[in-house]
Structure 1
Amino acid sequence: MSESRARVDPVRPILPLWAAILSAAGAALLMDLSYPDAAVWVLAFPATALLLIALIGRRAGSALLVGAVFGILFFAMLVSWTSRYLGPVPWLALAVVEGVLTALALVLITLAYRWIPRALPGDWARIVVLPAVVAALWIGRELFIGSWPYGGFPWARLGMTQDQSPLAPLASWLGVSGLGFVMVFLVAVVIEMVRLRRGLPRMSPAVPAALVLVLFLTPLFPTTATGTMRIGAVQGNGPTGYFDERTPFSVVDAQTEATEPLYGEDLDLLVWPEGSLDYDPFQTPDLARRLSLISTRVDAPLLANAATGRNDRYYNTSMLWRDGAAEAIHDKRHPVPFGEYVPDRAFYNALAPDLIGLIQREYTPGENSSVIDVDGVQVGLAICFDVIYDDVVDQGVRDGAEVLVFQTNNADFRGTDENLQQLAFARMRAIETGRSVVNVSTVGTSQIIRHDGSTVSSLDADEAGALLEDVELRSGLTAGVVLGPWIQQILLWGGVGALVIGWWRARRR
């Protein structure tokens, strides 16, 4: 009896601390490889397993250390592109902050492994309830880091690794967070089944077979095709980086030159990327006339983007331009902290005055609709990093968007994985919402993407060019859009609530 209990004791650490630290470091490496550029999606599963194994049985202090090793190394590799121009300080600061927040949240998973088996000692609880709580706490960690501090940084969500995986359609049913929950749950179930190492609860062989079929053969949630829209997307490859040398109107000149092959083509909408205009066209008459001329030559409205000023505030603004005026505008909803504005400027300026001094403008978050009407077609917008925030994309689709357009400027990260990571997020948004996506960058990579995440056409990084396609329009809300926010809240508060109940029952037992 004592031997059997020793084999299944869920409280004892699986690994000594030194091995747990190595396991966490290996998890960080594999997890980074599951994201682009490598994009080996299957590695997200062993990465998750290595981290969970390293956390099992740890006390809070050692779990914090293990979590910090994973978090700091993982973010240091994933967002190394932040050091491209500004050097190691912003990169290390971001990696350490995100890594420490990750470590703090991972302690809760360690506590779940300690308390839940004591509160519910049965085998079925070990292979169902415990993995569910662990997976819910994992998603809660993602939501926490994705919303705090300063609006959060939801860049490293587990579900986003699966854009080219057979599991990706699950996002159209459960949302990206729901997909991440399923992934962690499956890994945690396998770990517990291996840990039990004795008579498992009896089940029919049809159960795991059915589960495999559901997970890998789930179709996309159905949406309805409503027609097509002929969209041209132009990647000018101009000097749009923060430190690029430029002459007056050099950016719009590059965009104009790359647009010339579309003159005479049949277009419904011409799209330029974020930062495609050198100046504010509302305050620069020459630039406004240039936009009107281009719109006339392609005989279609032009969707461009620039920094604009209104009422003593600055905005990152996309405008639909035609007949000498903007028919509609959309301001970026989530300006990037320390990129487009500086929170608590006086404090951070005292720490790094040279770096903080580079950021002169303070962009204001937009409050207008992310959907614009283009001759009766509803087009949903997201500017640059807004693609990683659920509220912008989901609200656009709820407001009737039939196609999504993502405008971005990756020039500050030339030669890094940043543009490919962002492109993977765009593909997952297409799958999650059931909408075609036009993702256009100043310097690449630009793509037109079908609603199933597959690529229609593409422009490689660091080349000028134009895409022209009949982009499918679709209507109807996926379950991922409708249920996704509810699933997030259920997982967030359900995981925390289950942990509290587990602590209370474990104490009583």
Structure 2
Amino acid sequence: MPVTQERSGTAPETPDEAPGPGRVARALARIRAGLPRTGLAALAGLLLALAFPPFDLWPLSLLGVAALSLLTRGRTARQAAWTGFAFGLPFFLMLLSWLRVIGWDATVGLSVVEALFLAALGSGLAVTSRLPGWPLWGACLWITQEWARDRLPLGGFPWGRLAFANTATPYTPLAALGGAPLVTFAVALSGTLLAWAAVRAAGRGTERRPVAAALAALGAVATMLAGFLVPVPTAPADTVKVAVIQGNVPNPGMDFLGRPMMVLNNHAAATEKLAEDIRAGRAEKPDIVIWPENSSDLDPFSDPLAYRRIDEAVRAIGVPTLVGTLVDGPDEQHVQNEGIVWDPKTGPGASYTKQHPVPFGEYVPFRDQLSKVITRLQRVARDFYPGDHNGVMQLGPARIGDVICFEVAYDEIVRDTVDQGARVLVVQTNNATYAKTGQPEQQLAMSRLRAVEHGRAVLIAATSGISAVIAPDGTVVQRTEELTAAELTATVPLRDGTTVADRVGAAPEWTLAVAGLLACAGGVLLARRRRATAPGDATATATGGAPTAGE
């Protein structure tokens, strides 16, 4: 029968042994011994956060991955889960600090939930660290973790994917082959290979293999440079002249709307000013105009004044305009977040309703129960009703793929528009709540990755910034500053061709995620086999290897 004594080497307690001062002292000693590792994990998590916008120190994403691999290597699954949590909590607290506008309790709560996925990742890294080729399995597990976190709970929250820290790096072109998951995998593989190189370089005796360490480091570099082999997008089939309107808001923060009609008047006035410049010969007439999410703060179908104001502005510019507004839902408890094609002659036409409302921001799960405990949730007076189709619409001469705000973070929503024939991508967003917090920069980075992934130009229209024109290679051609009224005009390509990422869809993500799970299963089976063959070595069987320092 396998030995099951504690790692401290003491005999197990008998069932009737009371927990005395000695047991408490041993527990405190284990906690003190683990503090250095916990501190290093927290520091590594903060370094990973610095890889993301607005800091953009992307090489730290490799170091963050490498650090977590080293800190979990040789640990038990439970110990590594704590290490992963200690890594993930400060990472998300810093990355999602823009949620402080809502409240620090929201920041902490969401960060804790997201850090639990990093705890599971830590356990997986520890289990697979016993397998041959563990850097590969570790990289796959990063995909497994992101796959789960992008979908759970309540539809998931993809913020913090490694790919979103690498939207303008040597890894970025890989998005055209396998989307954001392949970029994450390449970054994670480079990081785990660096960890393997460190293990070989710092080993003792036969474990020290300088040549292997050098080869691992070269493998990390080669993975990074693989993106340069990806071909650039083909020439456009056509072009379209666009104008993106950023009307600004009265006050950033939770009460950005101000008085009714203020935001709508800002966007209508900016559009009419552009029309005057066109008539005066100071500007060239666009083919289409893009307004942002919530550019009308009133439902034009229930408020005649809002309808008339939008119609006046669109008639003044004389071209089809995409208008973002909230409209009444199918019942009194719901509202819909829509982008509406508004024609200067025929008025409102095709529309897209946001498919993925944000939980607690745009709808309240378990409203009856939670609203009694968290009174702030009552500010979300009506839940957003989700749309049932993608955002592919004909806007003048352009067949656009519209996504609204946070939807740009979800692979399948953006991919679906391209699959259905979108020739240019539009991101309507309202970041006024999070102005000057770093969140707009993070969302801009995601849009840059989508441009490369799908080989499409991306037009970002934001109420208060950052609006931008992004080329199919991810280059930001134009952008606005935050909290300023501005308009962007540009000629952008319309493309019909698809990338490899479009054609393979979610297959790379599923393949890599399943590979990570299978590797974990293999690690568990290997540990059981070792316990069966070496029943007398309690320390080794507890971890699948030699004991590590600080336990």
Task: Choose which of 221, 228, 233 in structure 1 pairs with 2:244.
Answer: 233
Alignment of 1:269-280 (within 5 A): 269-280=288-299
Sort the Cα spacing of 1:238 and 1:497 in 2 relative to 1 into closer, same or farther, 3 A. Answer: same
Q: Structure 1 unaligned runs (5+)? A: 1-15, 117-124
What residue in structure 1 maps to residue 152 of structure 2?
A: 148
Task: Choose which of 194, 197, 200 in structure 2 pairs with 1:190.
Answer: 194
| CA shift digits 1:157-180 (9 cap, x unpaired) | 001111121221111112111111
Sort the Cα spacing of 1:241 and 1:192 in 2 relative to 1 into closer, same or farther, 3 A. Answer: closer
Alignment of 1:160-309 (within 5 A): 160-196=164-200, 197-198=208-209, 211=222, 214-215=225-226, 217-239=228-250, 241-244=253-256, 246-263=258-275, 264=278, 265-309=284-328
Sort the Cα spacing of 1:324 and 1:402 in 2 relative to 1 into closer, same or farther, 3 A. Answer: same
Task: Choose which of 86, 106, 112 in structure 2 pairs with 1:96.
Answer: 112
Asked whether the equivalents of residues 178 and 484 of structure 1 are also in contact (C-alpha less than 8 Å), the reply is no
1:106 and 1:365 map into 2 onto residues whose CA distance is 35
2:182 and 2:497 map into 1 onto residues whose CA distance is 20
Q: Give the SS at the match of 1:34.
A: coil
What residue in structure 2 maps to residue 499 of structure 1?
A: 520
Match status 1:384 vs 2:405: yes
Asked whether the equivalents of residues 329 and 385 of structure 2 are also in contact (C-alpha less than 8 Å), the reply is no
1:220 and 1:42 map into 2 onto residues whose CA distance is 23
| Residue type of the alignment partner of 2:149 | I
Match status 1:397 vs 2:418: yes
| CA shift digits 1:15-46 (9 cap, x unpaired) | x7333212211211111111111111111111
Deviation for aligned residue 1:139: 0.9
RMSD: 2.3
Match status 1:113 vs 2:129: yes
| Residue type of the alignment partner of 1:262 | L
Alignment of 1:421-440 (within 5 A): 421-440=442-461
1:436 and 1:486 map into 2 onto residues whose CA distance is 24
What residue in structure 2 maps to residue 311 of structure 1?
A: 330
Alignment of 1:455-474 (within 5 A): 455-474=476-495
2:163 and 2:339 map into 1 onto residues whose CA distance is 29
Q: Give the SS at the match of 1:379.
A: strand
Asked whether the equivalents of residues 289 and 324 of structure 1 are also in contact (C-alpha less than 8 Å), the reply is no
Alignment of 1:304-383 (within 5 A): 304-312=323-331, 313-322=334-343, 323-352=345-374, 354-383=375-404
Q: Structure 2 unaligned runs (5+)? A: 1-32, 201-207, 279-283, 531-551
2:52 and 2:220 map into 1 onto residues whose CA distance is 28
Match status 1:34 vs 2:46: no
Stretch of structure 1 that moved more, 147-156 or 371-380: 371-380
Deviation for aligned residue 1:194: 3.3
Asked whether the equivalents of residues 234 and 258 of structure 1 are also in contact (C-alpha less than 8 Å), the reply is yes
What residue in structure 1 maps to residue 9 of structure 2?
A: none
Q: Give the SS at the match of 2:473.
A: coil
| Residue type of the alignment partner of 2:422 | A
Q: Give the SS at the match of 2:240.
A: strand
What residue in structure 1 maps to residue 142 of structure 2?
A: 138
Stretch of structure 1 that moved more, 417-426 or 295-304: 295-304
Percent identity of equivalent pairs: 33
| CA shift digits 1:466-485 (9 cap, x unpaired) | 11111111121111222240
1:324 and 1:88 map into 2 onto residues whose CA distance is 47
2:220 and 2:467 map into 1 onto residues whose CA distance is 39
Deviation for aligned residue 1:388: 0.2
Larger Rg: 2
Sort the Cα spacing of 1:271 and 1:155 in 2 relative to 1 into closer, same or farther, 3 A. Answer: same
Asked whether the equivalents of residues 145 and 153 of structure 1 are also in contact (C-alpha less than 8 Å), the reply is yes
| CA shift digits 1:124-157 (9 cap, x unpaired) | x3xxx31111111111101111110000100110
| CA shift digits 1:354-391 (9 cap, x unpaired) | 21111111011111231001235210111000000111
Q: Give the SS at the match of 2:107.
A: helix
Asked whether the equivalents of residues 430 and 464 of structure 2 are also in contact (C-alpha less than 8 Å), the reply is yes
Alignment of 1:400-419 (within 5 A): 400-419=421-440
1:269 and 1:245 map into 2 onto residues whose CA distance is 26
Asked whether the equivalents of residues 449 and 474 of structure 2 are also in contact (C-alpha less than 8 Å), the reply is yes
Deviation for aligned residue 1:505: 4.1
Q: Give the SS at the match of 1:451.
A: coil
What residue in structure 1 maps to residue 103 of structure 2?
A: 87
| CA shift digits 1:204-230 (9 cap, x unpaired) | 99x859936852522345344111111
Q: Give the SS at the match of 2:50.
A: helix
Sort the Cα spacing of 1:258 and 1:503 in 2 relative to 1 into closer, same or farther, 3 A. Answer: same
1:87 and 1:495 map into 2 onto residues whose CA distance is 36
